[in-house]
Amino acid sequence: MAKANSSAADEPTKRGRIDRSCCNFQPPLLPGLPDHISHLCLSRVHPSSLYSVCTSWRRLIYSPSFPPFLSIYALLSPAADELRPSPEAPADRGTCLSRIEFANFDPVASRWRQLAPPLNLLLRHPSFLSRNFPIQSVSVSGKLVVVAATADNLFSAIPFPLVFNPISGDWSSGPPLSVPRRWCAAGSSGGTVYVASGVGSHFSTDVARSVEKWNLGCTTDGRRRSDGQIWKWRRMKDMKDMRFGRDAIEAVGWMGKLHMVNVRGGSPKEGVMYDVEADTWSEMPRGMIDGWRGPVAAMDEAELYVVNEAAGALRRYDRERDAWDDVFTSEDLKDAQQIAAAGGRVCVVSGEDSRRIVVVDVAAARTWTLETPGRLQVVGLHILPRMHSRTPLIVSEDEY
């Protein structure tokens, strides 16, 4: 009888063990501590130290509740020599289109992964041998926004901005542009996207002098926020002339103003500043223009950096002295094509083939180099929060 009672008493325990093993039971993050306390402790550790320890910690750093670390986002295209059609290929417009990939490099997992189905856009055309057609994108409020590109008919390919949110991993569209444009100035400041000048379906002096803005904080529900702002592009004060409609220009947001010059590289240039609060234009200081000899980016709209593409020097602007100070010099920074800055690091696309990304740790004055996957060239570069997922789906370079 005692034996029968003992077996009966053991039965629920056995069933409990079986039930727990069949329901995907997760071990605690730290033995002996509730998970919410463990979460607070582990969030103080750098994600790279947690990634390789165990699966539960790896899952934690990609969860929405873990503080997001920064990672690189890039728009990638095949090299020019890989796009040339063979002599036997039919001479149709489709041979000119480039396959544009959206990709993310996770610095903790050291892996690239694809974000969305590629777009077919025009980068190169036989009638324009000396230049590429730009694809213009900006970073704003932790999101990537594509605002301008060219279709195979040489018209604008972006009637409304394409917005990627890395936290949710979703793409969405913004309000339609009043005039879809190319060869414009594009930038962001304080959660707002700005486009200026450029060319629409045909050249227009009105478009070439126009400025429009879109606040990403405006919701689509009801099209109006509590502060009265509407979910659409708003026309701002025009530029005084049409100097900025001849090239794709970065409008760099820094200290409450957008800064832009009319030509790239080391050529003599003119520069202007747009005060986003006062809606006014002014001339750029002489020292700022003289040192603007390569791609420029602002770090958290607090510090302004330029890479002198000829000297391979990273420089920081001193507002009080109206001068640029050397931060770091390296041969790897020569021929710089693009730049992005955030979180104490500056990422530079360099080299004639645009397949190398040099990451500069500004405080430590050290660099490391990242190669693009699949021999692809960088046509757009951004630093944004990492993507999250319940399971860290990482694609290796071979799988990419």
One pLDDT digit (tens) per residue for the chain, 400 residues: 444 444 444 444 443 443 434 445 578 888 888 888 888 899 888 888 898 888 888 888 888 888 889 999 999 998 765 554 434 334 444 456 788 999 999 999 899 988 878 888 888 776 665 567 889 999 999 999 999 998 888 888 899 999 999 888 888 999 999 999 988 999 999 999 999 998 888 888 899 999 999 998 765 443 444 444 567 999 999 998 887 777 788 999 999 999 999 887 777 889 999 999 999 999 999 999 999 999 999 999 999 999 999 999 999 999 999 999 999 999 999 999 999 999 999 999 998 888 999 999 999 889 999 999 988 999 999 999 988 764 344 444 444 4
To 5 degrees, how large is the angle CA 94–CA 175–CA 151?
10
Q: Report yes or no on 196 lying in a domain.
A: yes
Q: What is the DSSP letter of 6?
A: H
How many Cα atoms occupy the beta-carbon half-sphere of 305 within 13 Å?
A: 27
Q: Report yes or no on 393 lying in a domain.
A: no
Q: Report yes or no on 65 lying in a domain.
A: no
How many Cα atoms occupy the beta-carbon half-sphere of 195 within 13 Å?
A: 30
| pTM flag (> 0.85) | no
Q: How far apart are CA 50 and CA 57, in angstroms?
A: 6
Burial of 43 (0-12, 13-18, 19+ CB in 10 A): middle
Instruction: Note the pLDDT of residue 259.
Output: 96
CATH number at residue 300: 2.120.10.80
Q: How far apart are CA 141 and CA 124, in angstroms?
A: 31
Distances (CA, A) of 340 to 53, 66, 100, 378: 31, 24, 19, 12
The parent domain of residue 122 ranges over 70-385
- Which residue's entry shows tokens 């629409």? 200
Q: Report yes or no on 233 lying in a domain.
A: yes
249-254 and 185-189 strand pairing:
parallel
The first and second tokens of residue 209, run together, are 């002098």
Residue type, 357: I
Q: How many domains does the chain have?
A: 1
Q: Report yes or no on 34 lying in a domain.
A: no
Give residues with Cβ within 8 angstroms of 127, minimum separation 6. Answer: none
Instruction: Note the pLDDT of residue 17.
Output: 42
Q: Report yes or no on 251 lying in a domain.
A: yes
Residue 216 · residue 239 · CB < 8 Å: no
Q: Report yes or no on 26 lying in a domain.
A: no
271-275 and 211-215 strand pairing:
unpaired
Q: How far apart are CA 330 and CA 43, in angstroms?
A: 35
Q: Report yes or no on 77 lying in a domain.
A: yes
Nearest alpha carbon to residue 308 among 284, 286, 268, 336: 336
